[in-house]
Amino acid sequence: MSILVTGGAGYIGGHTVLQLADAGEKVTVLDNLTTGFQWAVDDRVDFVEGNAGDTEAVTALLQERGIKSILHFAGSIVVPESVENPLKYYHNNTATTRNLIEAAVNAGVKHFIFSSTAAVYGMAGMEPVGEENPLSPESPYAKSKLMSEMMLADVAFAHDIKYGVLRYFNVAGADPQGRSGQSTPLATHLIKVACQTALGQRDKMKIFGTDYETPDGTCIRDYIHVTDLAEAHALLLNYLRDGGESTTMNCGYGRGYSVKEVVGVVKKATGIDFVAEETGRRAGDPAAIVAQADRARSVLGWEPKHDDLREIVDHAFAWEKYLLTRNDRPELG
């Protein structure tokens, strides 16, 4: 059966496309290339440039290709930007998802997998959060994602469609084979920023907030390797295809690292000392958030293979070095 991956020219979507293509799936990528890159799309899949929120065009695409499963990654993801420009996030995330769901219903799509975020839990505290924890999104980004989750649940109740929601914790790293990575130059992911700083692409990086109620005063996050996350999507798709009920699952390792700890690992892994300037807090950042992810393991049989912060950093740094050489070769696009 054919699969549509929106945002498949981006970071997490691109890695999931690799996972699906490696498994022999028939994949169509739909991306408007706002933050994605066509060169990053695997040669084994079809690419269509377009907007996931264009209901009429997407309905036609789904019908023409007989697509029965959608994996929806397209959207905006920068928390501070969402605070400054909430309407962008309610348009790119909530409204686009609403229109895509309508197209899915129109075309008789059976499975819809949505990329959500641990930010829906809000200021969670030091204890790991499970899927049944209270939801208290703090930022427009988190609210836009939660609204999309709610729409999916309502539509699945009213129509013949099953959904899976994966709430990501902090995604990092790159494909172990060097085929893909986080390629957006101004991405805000901590490990990417630290690797760029180590390579001299940034004069310095910033540590936002050192007065949180955590052991070293900086934010604690659960970092998950992007390839493990991609595998969770493939497993979730198979679960739904096999008749599994709609579900929502966390994707994390269940262990957190502080910003200072991550910066230390990057310095050690690269052998490069760089400036990490301590500054004030960013709007919308919880002090700590760590996953309780037993459901993905028990229901999907998900067994992470890259649960190691040093490995995550090594793969991310290797990708940044590759991008340096790639950016020096205009013929590669």
pLDDT 10s digits, 28-56? 999 999 999 999 999 999 999 999 999 99
Domain count, the chain: 1
Q: Which helix (H) or strand (E) holds 214?
A: none
**Sorting pLDDT into bands at 50, 70 and 90, what band is 78?**
confident
Residues 244-291 have pLDDT tens digits of 999 999 999 999 999 999 999 999 999 999 999 999 998 778 899 999
Residue 23 lies in a domain: yes
Angstrom distances, CA of residue 48 to CA of 158, 194, 245, 294: 30, 33, 30, 36
Which of 141, 168, 212, 223 is flagged as catalytic?
141
Nearest CA to 328 among 225, 218, 224, 201? 201
**Sorting pLDDT into bands at 50, 70 and 90, what band is 328?**
low
Q: Are 131 and 153 in contact (CB under 8 A)?
A: no
Average pLDDT of every residue of the chain: 95
Residues 141-153 have pLDDT tens digits of 999 999 999 999 9
Strands (E) located in the chain: 2-6, 26-31, 46-49, 67-72, 111-117, 162-168, 170-172, 205-208, 220-221, 223-225, 247-251, 257-258, 276-279, 288-289
Residue 261 lies in a domain: no
Mean pLDDT of 119-148: 92
Out of 102-111, 180-189, 292-301, pick the least confident: 180-189
Chain centroid to Cα 44, Å, comes to: 22
Query: Residue 245: which domain range?
Result: 2-173+224-252
pLDDT at residue 315 is higher than 50: yes
Residue 240 lies in a domain: yes
The one-letter amino acid at 151: M
Residue 241 lies in a domain: yes
Which spans in 224-293 are helix H? 226-241, 259-270
Q: Are 41 and 66 in contact (CB under 8 A)?
A: no
User: Which residues, listed in sequence order, are joined to residue 315 by a DSSP beta bridge?
Assistant: none
pLDDT at residue 223 is higher than 50: yes
Residue 149 lies in a domain: yes
Could you tell me what percent of the chain has a pLDDT over 90? 90
- Sheet strands side by side (includes 257-258): 257-258, 220-221, 288-289
**CATH number reported for the structural domain that contains residue 23 in this entry:** 3.40.50.720
Residue 112 lies in a domain: yes
> For residues 173 and 176, what is the distance between their CA atoms, to the nearest angstrom?
9
> For residues 182 and 150, what is the distance between their CA atoms, to the nearest angstrom?
29
Pairing mode, strands 162-168 and 170-172: unpaired
**Sorting pLDDT into bands at 50, 70 and 90, what band is 330?**
low
Is 141 annotated in the active site?
A: yes
Please, what is the end-to-end C-alpha distance for the chain in angstroms?
Answer: 32
Residue 289 lies in a domain: no
Q: What is the pTM of this model?
A: 0.94
Residues 191-201 have pLDDT tens digits of 999 999 999 99
pLDDT at residue 329 is higher than 70: no
Residue 195 lies in a domain: no
**Sorting pLDDT into bands at 50, 70 and 90, what band is 331?**
very low
Nearest CA to 136 among 146, 148, 149, 150? 146
pLDDT at residue 1 is higher than 80: no
Angstrom distances, CA of residue 109 to CA of 81, 159, 204: 33, 10, 47
